[in-house]
Amino acid sequence: GESQSVVGTVRGREQALADEFVVLTAHLDHVGIGAAIEGDAIYNGAMDNASGIATLLESAKVVAAARPKRSVVFVAVTAEEKGLLGSRYYALNPTVAKDGIVANINMDMFLPLFPLKTLMVLGLDESDLGDDVRAVTAAMNVGVQADPEPQRNRFIRSDQYSFVREGVPALAMKVGYEEGTPEATIAADWTRERYHAPSDDLDQPIDRGAAADFTKMIGDLCVRVANRDTRPQWRDASFFKRFAKPATTENTVDRPDAR
């Protein structure tokens, strides 16, 4: 069978940067119909990942109103649950110039289950996008943290990794929590009880304030990255820097540290 991704673009306002692209992604698929649990076989995917798609759509409104310097591509990718297939296809066969893609911001199951006091950022210290996200969170008086459970390898388990493999600096974000807190318990309980289960539906506790704050943060972050003077860069110490593509003649100007 076939399954489509859905793509939309807001063109950048600055001629010199309009052919560079920040790509926002969220996956639109879920499990669908699966083994029945308590008589229910419909796997709804409200958090995983209708929440991310909602943020993608709201961010598109913010970006369109702001009209930043660079262009921004919004990609609702398919077949994430089948192994990142939609994002992998897009990263290899984008609708824009491949060497013009400068960053990826991905929203996948960000879990607004409690107030957004801390933003969990997967890939926080891998690239200088971490500086942008810290500026945006500080403006909203929200803390920022790297993944508190790195053993789960979440940075390479969702659609941002399709772009990382092509050398593109990327981030993914969730509503954060500190280990050993009631919020950590809520998150663990959700993963155990609702992750990839029919109960990931609209009849579950949702912190709508956290969802709104998270969505505002993503929109602001996207505009900030699209207005940067320089292309995002991997940190020298990052494991993922090995995927970076050599600079071509035309983008060396934007990448003074290109090798």
Mind listing the pLDDT tens digit for each residue in 191-247? Answer: 999 999 999 999 999 999 999 999 999 999 999 999 999 999 999 999 999 999 875
**pLDDT at 247 (0 to 100):** 57
Residue 159 near residue 27, CB atoms below 8 Å? yes
Report the alpha-carbon distance of residue 189 to residue 195 in Å, rounded.
Answer: 9
**pLDDT at 148 (0 to 100):** 86
**pLDDT at 258 (0 to 100):** 42
Reported as a pLDDT band with limits 50, 70 and 90, residue 252 is very low
**pLDDT at 255 (0 to 100):** 44
Q: Give the mean pLDDT of 177-192.
A: 95
Report the alpha-carbon distance of residue 183 to residue 214 in Å, rounded.
Answer: 16
Reported as a pLDDT band with limits 50, 70 and 90, residue 118 is very high
- Token pair listed for 164: 């990382």
**Residue spans of alpha helices (H) in 73-181:** 85-92, 129-139, 160-164
**pLDDT at 140 (0 to 100):** 96
Q: Name the residue among 142, 140, 141, 129 with its Cα closest to residue 224.
A: 129
* pLDDT tens, position by position, 26-55: 999 999 999 999 999 999 999 999 999 999
pLDDT over threshold 60, residue 158: yes
**pLDDT at 246 (0 to 100):** 74
- Does the pTM of the predicted model rise above 0.85? yes
pLDDT over threshold 50, residue 170: yes
Beta-bridge partner residues of 32 = 43
pLDDT, mean over the chain: 93
Q: Name the residue among 64, 208, 218 with its Cα closest to residue 137.
A: 218
pLDDT over threshold 90, residue 162: yes
* pLDDT tens, position by position, 63-87: 999 999 999 999 999 999 999 999 9
- Token pair listed for 130: 């971490």
Instruction: Provide CB contacts within 8 A for 227, sequence distance 6+.
Output: 68, 69, 70
